[in-house]
Each structure stands twice: as structure tokens, then as C-alpha cells.
Structure 1
Amino acid sequence: MRRMTDNTRAEEAAAAEPRGPHGRAALALAVKDGADFLRRRFRAGELGSLPVVLVLATVWIIFQSLNNNFLSPRNLSNLSVDIVGTGLIAVGIVFVLLLGELDLSVGSISGFAAAIFAVLNVNNGVPEWIALILAVLAGTAAGALQGFSCAKTRVPAFVVTLAGLLTWNGLMLYVLGTSGTVNLDENGLVADLTSYYFTNDAVAYSLAALCAGLVFLMSYLDRRRRVAAGMPHRSMRDIVVRAGGLAVVAFTTAYLLNRFQGLPLALLIFLVVVAGLDIVLRHTHYGRQVYALGGGVEAARRASLNVIGIQTAVLAVSGTMAAVGGLFLASRITSVSQSSGSGVLLLNAIAAAVIGGTSLFGGRGTTWSAVLGMLVIQSIASGMAITDTPTAIQFVITGGVLFAAVVIDALSRRSQEAHGRA
């Protein structure tokens, strides 16, 4: 009888033990599952932001090994402000690239808008907030005019915006007049855009927690909607891991920025704009229409989409973001001159969007692509400056990264076509 009891207890204990691998075996299985998942995504051409993250990590490791000051709080704080002006312009470029088009006028529009603000405010005494609104509206109108022209005439945006590049640059020179340069008020509203910092440590940490919490909440609510509709959805483990990873990045960033001057106002505005436009693209009817139009204009027309309205709105967004970016660039140097909006600004904005993962073929990309791509470009520029490397080498490296991004995009699209997903 006693033997029967012992056997019974042993069987019950064995049944109560959780099944499956434990300890190192469970870890090995999780790593294997993760590797298999990444391998499937690579074969399907769904690379996401992984390539640009690896490039960014490589750039940071190389320059940190060359100079210990590269990842110092001071340099990272300056980097976080330097990416804003061109980054905002790149966000507008993302919208245009999603249509499979290209806007070459954003540099000229940024200079034109900055010139309008400077002349109205400094030379004519118009209050800053009114001059700022008028400058942004000028960029919106310029972009909308180009978008409407493209949609009505069916001329590629590349051609129309090339004409716009010359037109808006000429108008900028006309607005600035013979003086050629207008210095902004260093204590004014626009100047504060890139010079104001939240010095209270709690502000940065609170915003980091809020950011991670909102991402988790939105992902969870999206999962619930998909589950209710019987659609494919992310697992809770995936949502928790993503939110946790973002929390680590956010709190690390807040810690580093607080070690210097605090959270820059420019960076906060940039991230809010990027997040807001990302929600517009991925969670609104308008955003779905933009992606659909990028998948094929003729198919969009047959689906009764308002092609003219969508193209006009997209180019208007691009013009608006160019104007806002131009104001941030003017704020950084507290002046507007005849060289505003020229140089490599246009090339950097386009390169940031493409390097970040936005497809040149349309229909694939997010506003966060501009952030990642701009981080890569500005990190290279910052590293070159710290290590006293010639500017020519910077152009070569940036061009190489851009070429690699284009090749990856082409290979990814080819792989998707092979799997019937493009």
C-alpha cells in the first residue's frame, strides 16, 4: 500500500512539472526561433529598419574608437539638435517617396519660407507668430501648387519640382533683396527653437516613460482590434519586448541629455511631429490612401480614389515640412541668407529618407525612416568633424551608405516579388 502511495505521488509530481525545455535549453530554443524568424524575413524581403540600425551602430562604434568624445553627452546633445532641421524636411520627402515620386524643390521652399519670416519680422516689424504662420503657409501653398500641377498634367513630380526648385529659389532672392542676409532676433521665438533646453531632469524621464507607455497602449489596442476582427496580430510577448526596448532607448537618451544641458526643445518638437505624422500615415484613411496610391496609380484610379486630391495633399505636406525645417535651420544659425536652402540640404534630405528605409519604388516606408537616416548622415558628419577628417571623405562615405541603401531596397523588392508580396 505504501509503495502504491509513493508511486502515485511521484506520478502526480511529474505531471505537475511544466513541460518543455528549461534553463539553457529554453534560451537556445528562443535564440533559434528568433534566428529562424529573421531568416524568413530576410528571404521575404521584409528587412524593416534592421539594416540602418546596424549601420548606425557601426558608425558609432567606429567613431567612438577613434575619439572618446563622440558619444559624450555634449556631442550627442548637439547631434540631437543638428538632425532636426534637415530631418523635418526628410519627413516630407518620405510622403512623396511613398507615392513613388521625388520632390526636388524642398531645399528652395525651406529657404523661401525662412526668407519670408525674416523679412516680415525683422525688416517690417510683423509679430513673430504671425510671420511664422505666414511663412509655413507659403510652404504649404507652394507644395500644393506643385502637387495639383503634377496630378492634373500627369507630369512626373521630378520635372515639376525641378522647375519649382528654380522658381522658389528666385523668389527667395527677390524677397531678401539687395541686403542678401537678415539676422534674426537671438532672443526671439524662432531662435529659441534650437537654443531652449528643459533643464529639469524629471521632464526628460517623464517624457521617456510616457513615450514607452503610449507605444505599449497603442500596440495593445491594435492587437485587440485585430483579434476581434480575426486578423493576424502580434503576440503580447512581442508587444512587451518592443515597448521594453523603446523604454531602454528612451531612458538612456534622457539620462545622457540630462548630463549636459537637458532635453532640447527642438528634439521634442521633432519627435512629436514624426510620431503624429506616423499615426496619420498608418492609422487614418488618408494614410491608407497614400500607401495605396504608391502601390499603383492606375489601380488607385480604378478603386475610385481621389488621385488628384491625394497627390496635391502629399506635395502640400512636403512643402509644409520644408518650410518648418527651413525655420529650424535658420534658428540654428540665427540668420537667413542667399545661400539658405542650397548646398547639400536637398541631397541630405532625400538620402536620409532612403537610407532610413523608405522605398524608392513607393508604397513602403514610415516617417521614422527619416529619423534613422538623418541620424546616420549627421553621425557621419559629426564624427568627421571630431576626427578632423576632410569633408570630401564625408561625402564619399555618405554616398556609399546611400548606394548600399538603394541596393538593399532593390533586392528587398525583388525578393518580395518572388514571394508574391510586392
Structure 2
Amino acid sequence: MKAAELIDRTDERLHRSDSPVDTIRLFLDRIRSGELGSLPVIVGLVLICGVFEGLNSVFLSSGNLVNLLYDSSTIGVISLGIVGILMVGEIDLSVGSVSGFSSALVGVLWVNMGWPVWAAIAAAIACGAVIGLVYAFLFNRFSMPSFVSTLSGLLAILGLQLYILGDTGSINLPYGSRLVTFGQSAFVPPPIAYAAAVLAGLALFATELRTARRRRGADLSSRSVRSIAGRALLLGAVLAALVFYLDRDAGVPWMLCLFIALVLLLNYTLTRTRWGRAMTAVGGNREAARRAGINVARAYTSAFVMCSVLASIGGILASARLASASQQAGTGDVNLDAIAAAVIGGTSLFGGRGSAYSALLGIVVIQAISNGLTLLDLSSSLRYMITGSVLAIAVIVDSLTRRSRLSHGRA
């Protein structure tokens, strides 16, 4: 079928990209209308890496990148939960306390009480789910603002963490155990890592080819096979190059693979399932979602539970990384980094807009700033100020793009 006969090409009001010049024009139009996507984050990350590499050549070394990716994975998992709760227009300020309490509970049950490690981990995750259910009950039944309920939870759960740890204040996890090894020195064998890079490219090719065929079957325009193959080849090549570079030191951490797997799973559920569409609808307009037949209370409940469960998993991974559970776990800048990563990555504070990739991009930015300042031997006060400034800029960009989308009728 000719392009002029395609359904989405018969309306002159619809934009077309029949040439490279048209593609560039459409890209600029999307930017002007507020459809920035991940562009600000990617540009910011490139600038951050360029500045820190210029100041210290160790920054982009393979060994430093391995440590950076390890640290990104623990907070990144927590940030995934923040993405989910922001999607429905709410917030959870207790994720740091939940992560610290979960790590402490694993230490107490596993080390002090002799439970199997898998049972201790399952109990900690179950406690996280219960915490999320409590928040959801307070929100759905009493309309308690999530800001208030989770702030109360932050204090209460921190108290529980201090109580179960007792006077010792910390518990050392057994070195050589599978959990600690997973958190410190478990790396993907190079053949498996390269195979995963190839499979990622093939998966992208198969997914986009299926989408193109469905669009052509509906008489809509679609990407050419050559374009799809080029994108898939580029993805596979970039991932293979990253694996090669990381293998110069230790390799690709399994913990990073777990984080990426959770990102892909959440991205699929948010974009391809009824639950994901309900989350987006509730965050965009709660009343409209209710009138459309969506169970709004169930959507909020799932968001709170998911956020708390992912916070528990992140806390367990952090304890494995440090080989200990202490009173300091989950405190400090854990809350700041988790929330900032989601917002900096592009998830809207107004609800209804965001993706799982927001957590991935945002936490890499946060950890790159932290890691770079540490290499320069600068004080933590500068890190807080810079991170706060980046977060403020991200919120301003979000507000401006939202205003631009409203003015262009794309909100």
C-alpha cells in the first residue's frame, strides 16, 4: 500500500517524517511542545561524565564504573518503587526506613535467630508488603495524605529498626555466604554477558518488527525493516562494548542484572498491561479513571505495596553490599537519592507520566555525581547541594514541560 493511502497519512494535520529533514523537524516540534522524554537526563549525564573525567581520569575507568553500577543497583531498586507511587500522584517518604528495617530484620532472623537466609529474606519482603497495605488502608479508608502517613511511617519504622537491633547497633553478615557474595563479588561470566547483549538486540528487533507488522495490518505507517534492524544492531553493539569495557576489571555485576530485570519487568507492566494503564489513568485524573470503571482503590493499594516491597528488596541488597545490617542502614540520603532519581529520570511529580527507565537513568546521574565528588575528595556538603540543585532543576523542567504540553493540547 502506498504511503498516501495509509490511514495516518490521509489527514494533513498529522505530522509526517518522509525524509531526514522531516524527522529533525518533528523532533524539534516535540521538544517545543514539551515532549522531552529522556533527552535532558541523557544530556546531563554526558556533561557530568565529561566534567568529572576531565578533572579525574579515574572516573570512567572500568573499575570505577563497576563500583558505580553496584552502588546504583541498590538505590535504583528502591527508586523503582518511587516511580510506581509517583505514577498515581502520591509519594512515599519512608522508603529509606523500610529498606533499613528490612536489612536489620534479615540480620536478626538469619544471624541471631538461625533462620535460613531465604526465609529471612521472605519475611523481610512480607513485612514490606504489610507496610504498604497499611499505607493503602489509611489512604483509601481515611483519605490520609500519603505525605503524612509515610512521614509517620518513616519515624515508626526507624524506631522498629533501632529496637530489633538492640544495644549492639549492627550485625555482621557471614562473609562467604551467597547473599554477601552476590552483593560484593558476583559477576556474570563474559560468554553469558555477550550472549545477553546479542539477545537484547534480537528482542528489540522482534518486538519492533511485530509492532510494524500490526501497524501495517491496520493500514498505518510503520518503521522499515532496515530501520528496525539498524536500531537493534546499535543496541547490541553498545551493550557488547559495555560488557567488553567492564570485563577489563571485574565484569558485569549480577546485582546490576537483577536491577535491569526489575526495570524491564516494571516497564512491561506499566506499558503493556491493564494494570499499567490503570496506574497511568489514575495518576492523570482520578475521577475520570473512576468513571471509566477503573478500581481506583486497588490501583493505589498496588502502588503502595509495590513501593514498600521494592524498598525492602533494596535494603536487603544494600546489606549484602556492605555485609552488615546497622542502625545507619536506610538513613542519610537514601530517601533523597531514591526520590531524586525517579524525578530526575523524568517521572512527573504531578502523576500520570513516567517510566521504569526513569529510575535507571536518574540513579546513574545521582551516583555519578556522588562518585565524582568522592574521587575529587570534596566534602559531602557539596554533594548534597549539587544533588539538591539537580533535583530542583528537574522539577522546574517537569513543570515547564507540563505547561507546554497543556498549551499544545498534549497533556
Q: TM-score, structure 1 length as denominator?
A: 0.90
Give the secondary-structure state (helix, strand or coil) at the position aligned to 2:183. Answer: coil
Shift of the alpha carbon at 1:202? 1.2
Contact 1:150-1:156 at 8 Å conserved across structures: yes
Max Rg structure: 1
**1:6 corresponds to which residue?**
none
* Partner in structure 2 of residue 307 of structure 1: 296
Between the aligned partners of 2:286 and 2:277, the Cα distance in structure 1 is: 14
Unaligned ranges ≥5, structure 2: 1-17
Residues 233 and 154 of structure 1, relative CA distance in 2, 3 Å threshold: farther
The yes-or-no answer on 1:384 pairing with 2:373 is yes
1:251-400 correspondence to structure 2 within 5 Å: 251-400=240-389
SS class of match (2:325)? strand
Residue in structure 2 matched with residue 10 of structure 1 by the alignment: none
Q: CA deviation at 1:226?
A: 3.8
> Which amino acid letter does the alignment assign opposite residue 169 of structure 2?
G
Mapped to 2, the partners of 1:376 and 1:417 lie a distance apart of 28
Identity percentage of aligned residues:
42
What residue is the counterpart of 2:153 in the other structure?
164
Look up the equivalent residue of 1:263 and give its one-letter code.
Answer: V
Match 1:178 to one of 167, 170, 174: 167
Q: How does 1:109-128 map to 2 (within 5 A)?
A: 109-128=98-117
Q: Distance in 1 between matches of 2:221 and 2:96?
A: 41
C-alpha distance in 1 between matches for 2:165 and 2:138: 27
Distance 1:185 1:191 in 2: 7
What is the CA–CA distance in structure 2 between the aligned matches of 1:233 and 1:365, rounded to whole Å?
Answer: 24
Q: Comparing 64-73 with 85-94, which one deviates more in the overlay?
A: 64-73
- Give the counterpart of 1:77 among 50, 66, 91: 66
| Alignment correspondent of 2:123 | 134
> In the alignment, is the contact (CA less than 8 A) between 2:92 and 2:146 conserved in 1?
yes
Q: What SS is found at the alignment partner of 1:287?
A: helix
Residue segments in structure 1 that go unaligned for 5+ positions in a row: 1-28
Spell out, residue by residue over 1:259-313, the C-alpha distance to the aligned partner (whole angstroms, 9 max, x if none).
1112211111111111111111111111110001111111111112111111011
In 2, distance between residues paired with 1:121 and 1:272? Answer: 26
1:72 maps to amino acid: S
Shift of 1:230: 5.2
SS in 2 for 1:336: strand
CA shift, 1:33, in A, is: 3.2
The residue aligned with 1:244 is 233
2:182–2:254 Cα contact (<8 Å) kept = yes
Larger displacement relative to structure 2 (215-224 or 326-335): 215-224
TM superposition shift of 1:157? 1.2
Cα root mean square deviation, aligned = 1.7
Runs of 4+ in 1 over 6 A off after TM superposition: none
Residue number in structure 1 paired with 2:141 = 152
Whether the aligned pair in 1 keeps the contact of 2:188 and 2:254 (CA below 8 Å) is no
Task: Say which SS state the counterpart of residue 171 (structure 2) adopts.
Answer: strand
| Displacement of 1:174 | 1.6
Q: What residue is the counterpart of 1:216 in the other structure?
A: 205
Q: 1:234 to 1:199 in 2, by over 3 A?
A: closer
Moved more, 75-84 or 218-227: 218-227
- Equivalent in the alignment of 1:9: none
TM-score normalised to structure 2 length = 0.92
The corresponding residue for 1:93 is: 82
| Alpha carbons of structure 1 residues 393 and 243: separation in structure 2 relative to 1, 3 Å | same
